[in-house]
A and B are shown apart, each in its own frame.
Chain A
Amino acid sequence: MKQGPHSYVRPVEVAVPYALVVVALVAAGIAVPGFLSSSHLSALSITAAYIGIIAIGQTMVLLLGGIDLSVPYMLNLAAVLLVGLQLSHVAAGTDFLIVIGLGLGAGLINGLGVALLDIAPLVMTLGMNSILEGVALIYSNGSPQGNAPNFVTTLSTGGTTVPYVVILWFVLLVIVTLALVFTRFGRSVYAVGSNRRASDLSGLPVKRTIMTAYAISGLTAALGGILLAGYSGQAYLGMGDAYLLPSIAVVVIGGTSILGGRGSYVQTVAGALLITIIESALITVGVDQPGQDVLYGGVILVMAYLNQVAVSDRRRHIALFGGAMGPLRGWLQPVARAGGARDDGGEPTDEGDTAVKSDDKEEPARWMRADVWHWSQEEPAGSAGRRARRFSTPATRSS
Chain B
Amino acid sequence: MSAEPQRERPARAVGLTRPTWHRSYTSGALVALLFLIYLSRSGWTFGGIEALGITNDALPLALAAVGETFVILTNGIDLSIGSMITISNVTLAVLDSHGFGAFGLVIVLAIGAAAGLINGLIVCFMRIPPLIATLATSSIYLGFSLMILPSPGGTVPQWLSNWTTGDISSSNFPIAGLWLVVTMVVGWVVLRRTNFGIRLQALGGSESSSWSAGISVVRVRILAYVAAGLCSALAGVVLGGLTQSGDPTIGAVYLLGAVAAVVVGGTSLAGGVGTIAGSVLGAVVLSLVSAVLLVSGLSANYQYIVTGVIVIGALLAHSVQTKLSSIAAERSRRFVSVSTTDGQQ
In their complex, do chains A and B touch, with some C-beta pair under 8 Å?
yes
Interface residues of A (CB under 8 A from B): 67, 113, 117-120, 122-124, 126-135, 137-138, 142, 245, 248-249, 252, 258-259, 289-298, 300-301, 304-305, 308-309, 314, 317-318, 320-327, 329-330, 390, 393-396
Say whether B312 contacts A113, CB under 8 Å.
yes
Q: A301-B122, A305-B126 in contact; A291/B143 too (CB < 8 A)?
A: yes
Say whether B211 contacts A327, CB under 8 Å.
yes
- B269 CB within 8 Å of chain A: yes
Majority SS of interface residues in chain B?
A: helix
- B81 CB within 8 Å of chain A: no
Say whether B136 contacts A297, CB under 8 Å.
yes
Residue of B nearest to A121 (CB): B131
- Chain B positions 297 through 314: 1 when the CB is less than 8 Å from some CB of chain A, otherwise 0: 001011111111101100
Q: In the complex, given contacts A130-B305, A138-B302, A293-B139, what are 7 additional A-B residue pairs having Cβ atoms less than 8 angstroms apart? A: A117-B316, A248-B135, A293-B146, A322-B124, A322-B217, A327-B212, A330-B208
Majority SS of interface residues in chain A?
A: helix
Cβ of A131: which chain B residues have Cβ within 8 Å of it? 304-305, 308-309
Q: A119-B319, A123-B315 in contact; A128/B133 too (CB < 8 A)?
A: no
- B147 CB within 8 Å of chain A: yes
Q: A119-B319, A131-B308, A134-B305 in contact; A252/B132 too (CB < 8 A)?
A: yes
Q: A129-B308, A321-B130 in contact; A290/B135 too (CB < 8 A)?
A: no
Say whether B256 contacts A130, CB under 8 Å.
yes
Say whether A394 contacts B132, CB under 8 Å.
no
Q: List 6 A-B contacts (CB under 8 A).
A: A122-B131, A134-B302, A290-B143, A290-B145, A290-B146, A322-B221
Cβ of A330: which chain B residues have Cβ within 8 Å of it? 208
Tell me the bound Cα distance from A290 to B139 in angstroms: 9
Tell me the bound Cα distance from A320 to B123 in angstroms: 12
- B127 CB within 8 Å of chain A: yes
Give chain B nearest CB distance to A236 CB in angstroms.
15
Say whether A119 contacts B312, CB under 8 Å.
yes
- B144 CB within 8 Å of chain A: yes
Give chain B nearest CB distance to A82 CB in angstroms.
19
Say whether A138 contacts B217, CB under 8 Å.
no
Q: Which of A124, A258, A297 has its CB near the most chain B CB atoms (within 10 A)? A: A297
Say whether B136 contacts A320, CB under 8 Å.
no
Say whether A294 contacts B131, CB under 8 Å.
no
Cβ of B312: which chain A residues have Cβ within 8 Å of it? 113, 119, 123-124, 127-128
Cβ of B299: which chain A residues have Cβ within 8 Å of it? 138
Say whether A126 contacts B217, CB under 8 Å.
no
Give chain A nearest CB distance to B28 CB in angstroms.
21
Q: A126-B256, A134-B302, A326-B217 in contact; A290/B144 too (CB < 8 A)?
A: yes
Residue of B nearest to A301 (CB): B136
Say whether B77 contacts A122, CB under 8 Å.
yes
- B152 CB within 8 Å of chain A: no
Give chain B nearest CB distance to A184 CB in angstroms.
28
Say whether A128 contacts B135, CB under 8 Å.
no
Interface size class of B (residues with CB under 8 A): 35 or more
Q: Which of A133, A293, A295 has its CB near the most chain B CB atoms (within 10 A)? A: A293
- B159 CB within 8 Å of chain A: no
Say whether A120 contacts B315, CB under 8 Å.
yes
Tell me the bound Cα distance from A329 to B135 in angstroms: 26
Say whether B218 contacts A297, CB under 8 Å.
no
Tell me the bound Cα distance from A291 to B147 in angstroms: 8
Partner of A323, one of B124, B146, B256: B124
Tell me the bound Cα distance from A113 to B309 in angstroms: 12
Tell me the bound Cα distance from A150 to B274 in angstroms: 53
Say whether B137 contacts A321, CB under 8 Å.
no
Residue of B nearest to A322 (CB): B207
Say whether A245 contacts B125, CB under 8 Å.
no
Cβ of B304: which chain A residues have Cβ within 8 Å of it? 130-131, 133-134, 137
Partner of A327, one of B145, B208, B307: B208
Give chain B nearest CB distance to A113 CB in angstroms.
6
Q: A118-B319, A395-B268 in contact; A321/B127 too (CB < 8 A)?
A: yes
- B71 CB within 8 Å of chain A: no
Give B142-172 interface residues, CB cut-off 8 Å to A: 142-147, 150
Tell me the bound Cα distance from A119 to B311 in angstroms: 10
Say whether B217 contacts A394, CB under 8 Å.
no
Cβ of A390: which chain B residues have Cβ within 8 Å of it? 270
Q: A120-B315, A134-B302, A258-B129 in contact; A323/B137 too (CB < 8 A)?
A: no
Say whether A134 contacts B308, CB under 8 Å.
yes
- Chain B positions 5 through 17: 1 when the CB is less than 8 Å from some CB of chain A, otherwise 0: 0000000000000
Give chain A nearest CB distance to B256 CB in angstroms.
6
Partner of A258, one of B76, B131, B211, B319: B131
Q: A135-B305, A314-B127, A324-B218 in contact; A119/B140 too (CB < 8 A)?
A: no
Cβ of A138: which chain B residues have Cβ within 8 Å of it? 299, 301-302, 305
- B325 CB within 8 Å of chain A: no
Say whether B140 contacts A126, CB under 8 Å.
no
Residue of A nearest to B134 (CB): A297
- Chain B positions 233 through 275: 1 when the CB is less than 8 Å from some CB of chain A, otherwise 0: 0000000000000000000000010011001000011100000
Say whether B308 contacts A130, CB under 8 Å.
yes
Cβ of B279: which chain A residues have Cβ within 8 Å of it? none
Give chain B nearest CB distance to A318 CB in angstroms.
7
Residue of A nearest to B322 (CB): A395
Cβ of A292: which chain B residues have Cβ within 8 Å of it? 143
Give B206-223 interface residues, CB cut-off 8 Å to A: 207-208, 210-212, 217-218, 221
Partner of B132, one of A120, A258, A309, A318: A258
Cβ of A118: which chain B residues have Cβ within 8 Å of it? 319
Say whether B309 contacts A323, CB under 8 Å.
no
Ranked 6 nearest A-B pairs via Cβ: A293-B143, A327-B211, A134-B305, A134-B304, A130-B308, A290-B146
Cβ of B49: which chain A residues have Cβ within 8 Å of it? none
Say whether A130 contacts B268, CB under 8 Å.
no
Give chain B nearest CB distance to A128 CB in angstroms.
6
Tell me the bound Cα distance from A290 to B301 in angstroms: 29
Say whether A120 contacts B269, CB under 8 Å.
yes
Q: Which of B77, B136, B212, B322 has its CB near the most chain A CB atoms (within 10 A)? A: B136
Say whether A126 contacts B259, CB under 8 Å.
yes
Say whether B132 contacts A248, CB under 8 Å.
yes
Partner of A67, one of B124, B131, B263, B268: B131
Cβ of B128: which chain A residues have Cβ within 8 Å of it? 301, 304-305, 308
Tell me the bound Cα distance from A289 to B259 in angstroms: 27
- B138 CB within 8 Å of chain A: yes
Tell me the bound Cα distance from A291 to B270 in angstroms: 35
Cβ of A394: which chain B residues have Cβ within 8 Å of it? 268-270, 319
Give chain B nearest CB distance to A328 CB in angstroms.
8
Say whether A293 contacts B142, CB under 8 Å.
yes
Tell me the bound Cα distance from A324 to B221 in angstroms: 10
